Amino acid sequence: MTTKPETELSEVLQDLYLRTPTEFVSVRKSRARSAKDGGNAELARQISRLQKPATGAWLVNLLVARRADDIDRILELGASLRDAEKNLDGDDLRQLGKQRLQLLRALARQGRDLAEKDGQKVSAAAISDVERTLQAAMTDPQAADAVLSGRLVRALSSNGIEPVDLDGAVAEPSVSTPRSRRPALRVVENKKSAEQIAEAERKATEALARAADADSERDAVRKKRTALSEHRIELGKRRQALEDEIAELARDIAATEREDESLGRTAASADHAAEVAGRAAERASERLRRLRES
């Protein structure tokens, strides 16, 4: 059975937008060449025009693929909070805003860790793009769908008032990419009970606590390893200094021993000369005494 062009492109999109930024261009070129060699010039043209994602957008795509449950939960929480914010006072809103920001940062750090496992270093700016994109997805259902496509090419942002600008944000938005799990991005009705809102807050707090514990443990291990590495370097320097000092002392000892041997020979020669001179002096004294007596 012949594969539909849209299905073929969908498969390419699923693969290509999970590739690291360093390999994206080469893989895109390879897939386009394969399509052309297979007689599908139109598919080759579509693949060739696919835009390379910014690093922050790639990180979000990576999270959607590898941390689907976490992405689902945070977007569900966003849907709940959009309604909850209508009925909460200023203090509660500020508290929710703080919790949301901490959760976004925790998930962004997960993206960084995934990238590092793939051998891809990411900048602080890229991590900030992840946070802004997920924030936009929590505030705007269309932005959430864009994120869930797994094909972002640029970061998203929201001012909390106007709809998120999605122009050119998703590669081939007309092509649907199946996803095994999609969050129930339901609009929460005003009749939602206070208990349900409290439950959403509790889950957010628990997730934050787990993320904070994991981050603290990881940071503690990193600090300890850094301290051990610095201590090892310092010990290495001290060891080298001691080895240099020992070598210098060995040279000094060898020189002292050579000098002592030379002085020993000189002293023996001087002792012999003194003994000879003493006997000569005794003979001279004896001769002088006899001359005086005669």
pLDDT digits (tens, 9 = 90+) for 147-159: 999 999 999 999 8
As given in the structure block, the two tokens for residue 38 are 């297979």
Give a yes or no: residue 37 inside a domain: yes
Domain with 116 in it: 55-173
Looking at the fold, whether 142 and 79 belong to one and the same domain comes out as: yes
Give CA torsion, residues 240, 245, 250, 256, to 10 deg.
Answer: 170
Percent of the chain residues past pLDDT 70, beyond the cut: 79
In a domain, 207, yes or no: no
**Per-residue pLDDT, 93:** 66
Handedness of CA 5, 8, 14, 17 (dihedral sign): negative
**Domain shared by 130 and 84, yes or no:** yes
Q: What is the pLDDT of residue 194?
A: 46
Pair (31, 120) in one structural domain = no
Q: Which residues of the chain have a pLDDT value below 50?
A: 1-3, 180-194
Per-residue model confidence (pLDDT) at position 185:
40
Is this structure's pTM higher than 0.75? Answer: no
How many CB atoms neighbour CB 175 within 10 A?
Answer: 18
Which pLDDT score, from 0 to 100, does residue 82 have? 76
